Structure 1
Amino acid sequence: MSARFGLRHLALLAASTVGALTIAGTAAHADSDTDEKILLKGSTTASYFWDDSSGRAGDTGLPASGKPMQKQLAASPSWPLLTEGYVMYQGKKMPFFVGDRGPGAPSNRGIMLDLDAKTFADLTGGTFNPDTLGVDGVGGEGHIKVDYVITKWGEGVGKKNHPVAFSTGAWSERDENPAEPPKVLAEEKPSQEPAPQGGGRAVAAPAPEGEPQESGIVGGALMAGALAMAGGGMVLGGERLRTLVKR
């Protein structure tokens, strides 16, 4: 076997490996595109509730969404039902979805989110009391300042923007003009590589006279093969490589 044939064989292996790595990289990039989008962010005062239709502690019945009372079910005075997002409080982050309407009158005083009692307990370090439907261990505190992030709007009626009081009736109107996502968090477009000085495209230098032109191609493939080996994409025994070169 000639040295040229051995190098050509190695070049084919290197090209195959680089192709496989390119496909894997493309798939990984596609997975990263599935990350949740931030549609709205802000801050408000949050209260808590637990409406299990038992009639206790001011219970007003089952949530308006028809879903049973559960952890992560929150009430909003204006957002569409089944809107999704999360709240942050003193370094803690908890997800929620809008399953009910409210607060009512308190929303006139800036209390724009009603968390479920179990989520409120997790955020504040308290304990949910199933007998009283309240939160113990927080000194009777029923309101906290939270930051909120919306990641998905519900499809029904309701205001797709910063919350407003229940009394405005925004919860019953369809919003065809949702808030624009925060620009500072918008997905950036990849910038183009600057063109080389002179405006031309880099080309390979001509091969010296008497040297086969394919050597440049083989050399490029060998470099790709070396990169693939460094990344763990191709493994060739040193003894096999020496044999190919000597033949």
Structure 2
Amino acid sequence: MQQRAINVVLTGVTGTALAGMLVAGVAAASDDSAPDKQFLSQQAVAAQEHKTSPKAGLAGGAKSEAETGSKAGSEAGSKNDVKREKKDREALLSGKTKASYFWDDGSGVNGDTGAPAGGKPMQKGLFASPSWPMHTKVKVSYDGRSVTGFVGDRGPGKPSHRGVMLDLDTYTFRYLLDGEKPKSKYNAGTGEGHLNGVKWEVLSWGKGAGSKGAPKPFGS
């Protein structure tokens, strides 16, 4: 009887212990797997957010469009520069002549006859032509140097009948001659009164009085 009671007690204790161990094992197994499951879930969420995030897509798209726009603008600017340079180089008419110099500002100094006929004040780059329309754009070149100016006066007079078809302002004349500046507006400061073989190029015709085409002697 006593032995049976002891067996019953042992059986109860053993059963309780085994049940406790099973519960602990299940809990431990559950706890050990929980971090792995949580980590995998976080990875999946992060991947999904990265894939579908509109902010990331917009940022990438904006950068791409900005870079594309900048490149396209640069290419367009380069093409426009090339076209502009090509247009500037094209001459409507060209030739060579003997050129003299003058400075006629209406002050009466050194026999000048009055303000330029084209209505613009006397200045560097203002040339006189016996026949071309006023405000015609002209490029003159000599000995590797060049100046672009415009027809702002009439002249030279009688010399044009001897082949002098351009009167250049004093500053342009001296610059073409040797790259220097005159000491006086009315005197180029050299013994040269004419430049032979000055190349002229008509870049655009002016809308003022005069005639297009090859230069003609004054009054003809």
TM-score over 0.5 for the alignment?
Answer: yes
Q: Secondary structure at the match of 2:156?
A: coil
1:83-232 superposed matches below 5 A: 83-125=136-178, 127-130=181-184, 133-136=186-189, 138=190, 140-144=191-195, 145-168=197-220
TM-score by length of 1: 0.57
1:73 aligns with 2:126: yes
What is the rounded CA distance, in whole Å, between the counterparts of 2:62 and 2:170 in structure 1? 61
**1:64: which partner in 2?**
117
Give 5+ residue unaligned stretches, structure 1.
169-247
Larger Rg: 2
Give 5+ residue unaligned stretches, structure 2.
1-46, 52-56
Kindly provide the CA deviation profile for residues 169-217 of structure 1, in whole angstroms up to 9, marking residues without a partner as x: xxxxxxxxxxxxxxxxxxxxxxxxxxxxxxxxxxxxxxxxxxxxxxxxx
The alignment's C-alpha RMSD in Å is 3.0
Kindly state the Cα deviation for residue 86 of structure 1 after the two structures are TM-superposed.
1.5
What is the rounded CA distance, in whole Å, between the counterparts of 2:148 and 2:80 in structure 1? 25
Q: Secondary structure at the match of 1:148?
A: strand
Q: Is the 8 A contact 1:72 1:116 kept in 2?
A: yes
Q: Is the 8 A contact 1:108 1:167 kept in 2?
A: no
Q: What is the percentage of aligned positions where both structures have the same residue?
A: 45
Q: Number of paired residues? A: 163
Q: Is the 8 A contact 1:49 1:115 kept in 2?
A: yes
Q: Secondary structure at the match of 2:96?
A: strand
1:30 aligns with 2:106: no
Kindly provide the CA deviation profile for residues 100-146 of structure 1, in whole angstroms up to 9, marking residues without a partner as x: 00111111111000001121111223652438x1121x2x2111020
What is the rounded CA distance, in whole Å, between the counterparts of 1:21 and 1:86 in structure 2? 35
Cα distance change on mapping 1:109 and 1:20 into 2, 3 Å: same
Residue type of the partner of 2:200? Y
Deviating more after overlay: 154-163 vs 21-30 = 21-30
Between Structure 1 and Structure 2, which shows a larger proportion of helix residues?
A: 2
